[in-house]
Amino acid sequence: MKTAFAALVLMLATAAAGCNTVEGVGEDMTAAGQAVDDAAEKAQ
């Protein structure tokens, strides 16, 4: 669980650094949320 959380934080930091618009941040947040959701489903 700690590894998944660390990966999520790293992904969000990278995504935020690469975004130039609010729309881009929203898209990145959606992608990050989907990745967490997928990881949670696989863990079950």
Low-confidence residues of the chain: pLDDT under 50? none
Report the C-alpha gap between 29 and 23 in whole angstroms. Answer: 10
Number of domain units in the chain: 1
37 exposed, middle or buried (CB, 10 Å; 0-12, 13-18, 19+)?
A: exposed
Residue 21 DSSP one-character state:
S
Instruction: Give the structural domain span for 36.
Output: 2-43
Residue 21 has what pLDDT? Answer: 66
Residue 38 has what pLDDT? Answer: 87
Residue 14 has what pLDDT? Answer: 77
